[in-house]
A and B are shown apart, each in its own frame.
Chain A
Amino acid sequence: GAGVSQTPSNKVTEKGKYVELRCDPISGHTALYWYRQSLGQGPEFLIYFQGTGAADDSGLPNDRFFAVRPEGSVSTLKIQRTERGDSAVYLCASSQGRGTDTQYFGPGTRLTVL
């Protein structure tokens, strides 16, 4: 079946602009995660959804970052007033049910803030 998909694959924006990154999880997966990977680093956790609710948002770096999952499927990561330091690959993962299930990752969205 189809894996996790993310759009766009690349996003270039200017400092101060607003961006939205979209994640389509594997069909039927109720858990969804966002991670951020900066150059030379491993992925860093941002937020975890179980269904429609954010079960753990402890990784969001500040209040410019926000994520939603209104219908328990597609999720959107929103970044306001982008800064050059936000440039990274944003990865989405989903898992079948409980948070203990294996996380399957999408290909990521490469965000570049000029």
Chain B
Amino acid sequence: DQQVKQNSPSLSVQEGRISILNCDYTNSMFDYFLWYKKYPAEGPTFLISISSIKDKNEDGRFTVFLNKSAKHLSLHIVPSQPGDSAVYFCAASERGAGSYQLTFGKGTKLSVIP
């Protein structure tokens, strides 16, 4: 049973436009959420995180939004650049329960077209 779902396997966006990647979760105990980016043959690279006490966190071109009532989060990349082309993973953990393992979604492959 997938507790973290990324329903779009792929997304194509024009360079300079906004990329919006979505993630849904089912476990209401999740209280910390992260986005990782992965290039082929490399390990995932941490991008940005958000605690469940917040609804928005911003870092440069990357913003993560959390809607707890809908159990939904999204990653916005503005403006998108060709170097952003990668697979993006949403992940969650139950820090409040003392669990630090990350539960990942299946990923969304983002292609930014020059």
A: which residues have CB within 8 A of B?
A: 4, 31, 33, 35, 40-45, 48, 56, 58-59, 91, 93, 95, 99-100, 102-108
Contacts and interface: CB of A to CB of B under 8 A. Distances in A.
A33 B101 contact: yes
B44 A43 contact: yes
Contacts, number: 55
B106 A100 contact: no
Interface of B: 4, 32, 34, 36, 41-46, 49, 89, 91, 95, 98-107
Given A42-B106, A102-B49, A56 B42 contact: no
> Which A-B residue pairs are the 3 nearest by beta carbons?
A99-B100, A42-B104, A105-B43
Contacts of B42: 107
A91 B44 contact: yes
A42 B101 contact: no
Nearest to A95: B100
A44 B103 CA distance: 7
Given A42-B89, A100-B95, A105 B102 contact: no
Nearest to B45: A105
Contacts of A91: 43-44
A58 B102 contact: no
Given A56-B100, A59-B101, A100-B95, A42 B43 contact: no
Nearest to B89: A42
B44 A40 contact: no
A91 B34 CA distance: 17
19 contacts: A33-B101, A35-B102, A40-B106, A41-B106, A42-B4, A42-B105, A42-B107, A43-B89, A43-B102, A43-B104, A44-B104, A45-B102, A56-B101, A58-B101, A91-B43, A93-B43, A100-B100, A105-B36, A105-B45
Contacts of A4: 43
